[in-house]
Chain A
């Protein structure tokens, strides 16, 4: 495997990791707020809080990791994306900042404030929408380069049906991923009432997710036919994704094996996400940057990979420890351990 393929695979995997953990996080924030509005929060909040509190900070790091890694492996992306993303990126940053700090304010500081939960819950829906812009821009057509000066065509983006279909997909997917995870988590905690609520949400958001995916397919066909053709060449990946979705839906409808149902949801998104990524290659930004415009120094490439392996050797055991303590520890999940230090 060449160094740049290795690099982009690693980065793509991190982005996938972010997709899953952030979706759970964003969705949980929204559900928590929604249930508070409906005055059902006493039913679901302890579940959400028990999961989120120890992991919320970790979620954020996945994102930074992806960006920093992208610059490290493919410095030329910095110039194009950096210039193009000033406005959408800054808006996403402000929302992320509000969300992150309000989480801490609400959960470690002063509790039970409608305002704090509201900001936390609602920003969670806008962030994926603004982050999805990166993927939209990567399809080309929203950046113009004249004499080395990069210009971002924001009007084009706002008018583009493709951009909007990606936004819709981002929002419905996070609700679906999050609800299916929380169903599993609540069931494991033997919390019947919140299991019923989350199960309802998971079923509710399953079909919109598939419809939105179809919409994106159609929009890519309109926007970038070359990419669509590449997707057709590896259509088996997308069919596997659909199959995983159907299995997940069947398990959810039968109200059985929620853990497997969530694994199937993860597979559904994994197949689709890697399928999208593979068919996007060799372009990192159509048509300006390809994957071969990457690390020009083999020494740097090796150093990055070395640093990466050392880092992973530290990360994987500690992530495992975190999950063991807060995800797979039955006593903790069921709330028999003290959830919050106070």
Chain B
């Protein structure tokens, strides 16, 4: 077990961030490594080359969702940035911001396309791979799933209208108003689908009698205890990620010594929002910790290797755990911090894994992902803070010696693009693996829900080939699209000299 985690972490840290701008490719390589390690492990354990259904179903769900959430995150966040940029552009009559909105929306369509098709994949794979789960839970989560499709429908319609009406109205604000339903649709679909995931973590709104769900209350199921913190965290982290991804593009051009005002405006704009959402995200992350302590203590305990229930619990940073003796080595323990994180009180008692039978423990590797997520979040916060502080003092005439366009800082922002996506993946893996062994916490175990159908292995290979292929192609298409017409060319075409 430890071998593949080590391998995975090595793979992630050695590969991510080395090549900015190709985060998708990095991601794909990591997935490939993870799969190879998992497969090797299984082969060694059982001495035969047959993977069991549950593992295959989990792996296929993992690769589909792991690929989808990159595009889903961009899809949730980018419309807000397009809309704000267009709004500023119209309000201040600043052609640079208008061009920014146009170029972002052009790239956005490509990512939306991949998001739509992978979203369709996961929607149907839920039925194909976990038919038992869908049969049971479909009675309760049908409503949010249905509403999610509505929101998505809404977004699709207005995206089509928005993209094809740039120059069609006399009043530019008419076109800007069309961006509002796109934001509503994208945020709405994130909201509804997250309530479904929240329901799987803290199910309520039904009674289980002899394997049949009765007394169903879909609204209670939708607004379950996990919903507020999950929705808030999903949205704030999506906005944070997008501000870094868009910021990284601008930083990349400045790093390449392109001096145009356009890039500087883009970077200032995105980094301002990066700091804002970073603060928001941290506050919401704290709320999520308190939520876990109260409703899902085993997830928090596994994430923090907190084995004994105790007061003044310490927070463990880093380290390696021995899964047999449960001893933690090489870790930094910060006294009382876990109690503060869990309850806001250093003397409070935090429930440990000793309160749960061993077979119901989440896997202990989730700690690495938890630390990774928090670490990357801290990095994003520091980088955006440095940039904003430098630009603030620069304007005031102080700190003139430290240009905010200095190269190490630009490099740090470029790295922030792929790293922010990595943080999304880590957080998601922590949240999902931390729920194991349950698919519906307290009701249905994952191992009882996988499809009995044959040919899972072939389907797994088929879909992975598809994702690798799409990842390569989408990167090539996006790079070509933006290289073919540079902002300088477009500004000249439109005869804009500012």
Residues of chain A within 8 A (CB-CB) of B158 are: 318
Q: How many residues of B contact A (CB 8 A)?
A: 78
Cα of A89 to Cα of B110 in the assembled complex, Å: 24
Stretch of B134-142, B235-243, B271-279 that contacts chain A: B134-142
- In the complex, what residues of B have CB within 8 A of residue A108's CB? 106, 109-110, 113, 481
Q: Judge if B120 is at the interface, Cβ distance under 8 Å.
A: yes
**A101 with B470: CB separation less than 8 A:** yes
Contact residues in A for B82 (Cβ distance below 8 Å): none
Give chain B residues whose Cβ lies under 8 Å from the Cβ of A1.
none
Contact call B477/A110, Cβ cutoff below 8 A: yes
- List residues 40-83 of chain A with CB under 8 A from any CB of chain B: 53-58, 60-61, 63-65, 67-69, 71-73, 75-76, 78-83
Chain A 307-342, CB within 8 Å of chain B: the 1/0 string? Answer: 110110011001101100110000000000111110
Assess whether B117 is in contact with A97, with CB atoms less than 8 Å apart.
yes
12 inter-chain pairs at a CB distance below 8 angstroms, sorted by A residue, are: A61-B152, A63-B120, A68-B145, A73-B142, A86-B451, A89-B124, A105-B474, A105-B477, A109-B480, A300-B143, A315-B153, A322-B160
| Interface pair A67/B164, CB less than 8 Å apart | no
In this assembly, does A248 line the interface, its C-beta being within 8 Å of a C-beta of chain B? Answer: no
In contact, B102 and A341 (Cβ under 8 angstroms): yes
Query: Are B453 and A83 in contact (CB-based, < 8 A)?
Result: yes
Which of A109, A311, A322 makes the CB contact (< 8 A) with B110? A109
Q: Name the interface residues of B105-160: CB closer than 8 Å to any CB of A.
A: 106, 109-110, 112-114, 116-121, 123-125, 127-132, 134-136, 138-140, 142-143, 145-150, 152-154, 156-160
Q: Does A103 contact B (CB under 8 A)?
A: yes
Q: Which of A56, A81, A149 has a CB less than 8 Å from the CB of B127?
A: A81
Our pick among A57, A71, A84, A101 for the contact of B156 (Cβ within 8 Å) is A57
Q: Decide if A341 touches B142 in the complex (CB within 8 Å).
A: no
- Shortest B476–chain A CB gap in Å is 8
A297 partner, pick from B116, B139, B166, B168, beta carbons under 8 A: B139
Which one of A61, A104, A340 contacts B113 once the chains associate, using CB atoms below 8 Å?
A: A104
Query: Chain B, 229-264, contact with A by CB distance < 8 Å: what is the 0/1 string?
Result: 000000000000000000000000000000000000
Number of interface residues of A (CB under 8 A): 72
Complex CA gap A245/B149 in Å reads 34
Tell me if A296 counts as interface (CB < 8 A to partner B): yes
Contacting residues, chain A, for B453 (C-beta < 8 A):
83-84, 86-87, 150, 152
**Given the contacts A87-B459, A97-B117, A314-B154, A307 and B161 also touching, CB distance less than 8 Å:** no
Within 8 A of B (CB), among A167-206: none
- Tell me if B147 and A101 are in contact (CB < 8 A): no
Q: How far is the CB of B366 from chain A (nearest CB, A)?
A: 29
Stretch at the interface among B15-23, B216-224, B339-347, B413-421: B216-224
With an 8 A cutoff between CB atoms, is B334 at the interface? Answer: no
* A contact residues vs B (CB 8 Å cutoff): 53-58, 60-61, 63-65, 67-69, 71-73, 75-76, 78-87, 89-91, 93-94, 96-98, 100-101, 103-105, 108-110, 149-150, 152, 295-297, 299-300, 303-304, 307-308, 310-311, 314-315, 318-319, 321-322, 325-326, 337-341
Are B157 and A318 in contact, CB atoms less than 8 angstroms apart?
yes
CB distance from A147 to the nearest CB of B (A): 11
- Chain A residue numbers with a CB within 8 Å of B50 are none
With beta carbons under 8 angstroms apart, the residue of A60, A304, A315 that contacts B116 is A60
Q: Does B462 contact A54, Cβ atoms closer than 8 Å? A: no
A79 near B131: Cβ-Cβ < 8 Å: yes
Are B164 and A341 touching (Cβ within 8 A)?
Answer: yes
The distance in angstroms between the C-alpha atoms of A55 and B158, with both chains bound, is 10
The answer, among A53, A85, A149, for a CB contact under 8 Å with B128, is A85
Residues of A within 8 A of B159 (CB): 57
With contacts defined as CB atoms under 8 Å apart, how many contacts are there between chain A and chain B in the complex? Answer: 235
- B354-380 contact mask (Cβ, 8 Å, vs A): 1 or 0: 000000000000000000000000000
Partner of B452, one of A73, A83, A337: A83
B: residues with CB less than 8 A from A are 102, 106, 109-110, 112-114, 116-121, 123-125, 127-132, 134-136, 138-140, 142-143, 145-150, 152-154, 156-161, 163-168, 181, 212-219, 451-453, 455-456, 458-459, 462-463, 466, 470, 473-474, 477-478, 480-481, 484
**Shortest Cβ distance from B465 into A: residue:** A94
Q: Is the CB of A325 within 8 A of B165?
A: yes
- Which residue of A78, A94, A319, A339 contacts B463 across the interface (Cβ within 8 Å)? A94
Q: How many angstroms between the C-alpha atoms of A53 and B102 in the bound complex?
A: 17
Kindly state the separation between the CA atoms of A93 and B470 in the bound complex, as whole angstroms: 14
**B466:A104 contact, CB within 8 angstroms:** no
Tell me whether B112 and A57 are in contact (CB under 8 A): yes
Contacts A64-B123, A90-B462, A315-B154 known; A75 to B452 CB distance under 8 Å?
Answer: no
Q: Which of B146, B154, B481 contacts A307 (CB 8 A)?
A: B146
B153 with A97: CB separation less than 8 A:
no
Is there an interface contact between B149 and A150, defined as CB atoms closer than 8 Å? no
Q: How many whole Å from A144's CB to the nearest CB in chain B?
A: 12
A79 touches B135 (CB 8 A): yes
Given A100-B113, A100-B117, A105-B110, 9 more A-B residue pairs with CB atoms under 8 Å apart are A76-B135, A79-B134, A97-B117, A105-B473, A109-B481, A149-B452, A319-B157, A321-B157, A341-B106
Q: Is the CB of B123 within 8 A of A68?
A: yes
Q: How many angstroms between the C-alpha atoms of A90 and B459 in the bound complex? A: 7
Question: Would A303 and B219 count as touching, CB distance under 8 A?
Answer: yes
Which of A303, A315, A337 is the one whose CB lies under 8 Å from B150? A315
- Inter-chain CA distance A102–B103, complex, in Å, is 20
Closest residue of A by beta carbon distance from B147: A307
Q: Which of A72, A90, A299, A326 contacts B138 (CB 8 A)?
A: A72
| Whole-angstrom distance between the Cβ of A28 and the nearest chain B Cβ | 15
Q: Which residue of A lies closest to B121 (CB)?
A: A93
Question: Is the beta-carbon distance between B127 and A78 smaller than 8 angstroms?
Answer: yes
Q: Which 6 A-B pairs have the closest CB atoms?
A: A72-B142, A82-B131, A104-B113, A75-B138, A54-B160, A311-B150
Out of B127, B218, B466, B470, which one reaches A82, CB within 8 Å? B127
**In the complex, which of the residues A67, A98, A105, A304 contacts B123, with contact meaning CB atoms closer than 8 Å?**
A67
Which residues of chain A are within 8 angstroms of B462 by Cβ–Cβ distance?
90-91, 94
CB–CB A296/B139 < 8 A = yes
By beta carbon, the residue of chain B nearest A324 is B161
